[in-house]
Amino acid sequence: MRRTYTAALLMVFTGWTLALAACSSDDSHSCSDTCDKADTYRCSGSMIQKCVMNDGCLTWTDDHDCSSDGRQCVEKPENMTASCVSAQPANNSNNGSNNGSNNGSNNGSNNNSTDPCSGVDCSGHGTCSVQGNQAVCSCESGYTSAGPEGLECVPAGGASSCDGITCSGHGTCQEWPNEGEAVCICDSGYTPSGPHGLDCVPTSVVCISGPLNPPYDADDDGQTETEFTPQSEECEMYELLNRTRASHDPEGAPECHRPLMWNVQWAAHGRNHSVKMKDQGGLFHDDYPYGQNCAYGCGPDCEMDMYMNGSDEPHCPDLSHHCNIMRCSFSEVGIGYAPPPSDRYWNTQNFL
């Protein structure tokens, strides 16, 4: 059986609106290699696999092959994540160190070191100290801690050069000379931790639950909530949005690449608006800060492609969904999907 969906988009910025429509289709199929919770990870040999929603099924999908750069996959069952780590050499006093015998590396002759700061250089812009048996980087003035464990020091205001930027080993640094920006294009499952855009941490670290102040009826069910917890589609779209900003070529247009930060309050408003659109059966604009994109009909990947590459989607400064995503004046975004069950994806992006 073949199912056909109609997808539509609607956009607003300072009172102007724009709409377009497109179509996509898929084939129904039975679920295989299923998993229990979206946005969790496991190892399959050297491959990191991610639990994602595919056509109504939660399935394990290949995400990144650690062996492609000589690393191995290690699971962390306590928080259902997996990461690529450097393969450790055998504990042999004659092995030497990757960086010399006196650099305090955990490899080679210093394998048995119990100093948590061993091998931590804070990106050359900070000092490592031990607090509660954990390594902590105190960064120089003008730098801020970054990375999954906070052990990198990157320019707090962003950078124009990729020199010294590792993207935490989970992305690729891209320089945009015309815009004077260097940003990390993060791997799947990762996004920058701050507006500097110079590290890559698990998306679940940034797209997080948070208190609602004031309390708000995020699900439009008559019940006021004091906390908002994002769904997998909301975090997937957030990750896609920042990867798009980092990687999209503006072709000389006044567009920016650094990431937008997650706004819990406006994500709750976005979900409420998406539920209202679903219940009323159509797209409309309401309850937004400075800009809003709305869509229904297909998942995050499809919607992002239409936002950026659909007909009549010009670069900034022209009015478009594309420009809302790439606009330099925005610094935060809240993303909300109507909760399942639903015959279509109903999505709202609130920009501020």
How many Å is the Cα radius of gyration of the chain? 22
pLDDT at residue 344, rounded to an integer: 74
Most confident residue range from 35-39, 204-208, 284-288:
204-208
pLDDT at residue 55, rounded to an integer: 58
3-class SS at 158?
coil
Its CATH architecture, for the domain 2-30+207-351, is 3-Layer(aba) Sandwich (3.40)
pLDDT at residue 29, rounded to an integer: 41
pLDDT at residue 88, rounded to an integer: 40
Residue 147 pLDDT class (50, 70, 90 cuts): very high
pLDDT at residue 310, rounded to an integer: 86
341 compared with 42, residue with greater pLDDT:
42
Domain residue ranges in the chain: 2-30+207-351, 120-203
3-class SS at 273?
helix
pLDDT tens by residue, 148-195: 999 999 999 999 999 999 999 999 999 999 999 999 999 999 999 999
pLDDT at residue 93, rounded to an integer: 35
Amino acid identity, residue 143? Y
- Across the range 254-262, mean pLDDT stands at 97
56 compared with 307, residue with greater pLDDT:
307
Q: For the residues of 83-147, what is the DSSP string, one character each? A: EEEEPPPP--TTS--TT-TTS--SSGGGTT---TTTT--GGGSEEEEEETTEEEEEEPTTEEEES
Q: Is the pLDDT of residue 101 over 90?
A: no
- Across the range 25-48, mean pLDDT stands at 66
pLDDT at residue 70, rounded to an integer: 67
- Across the range 320-324, mean pLDDT stands at 93
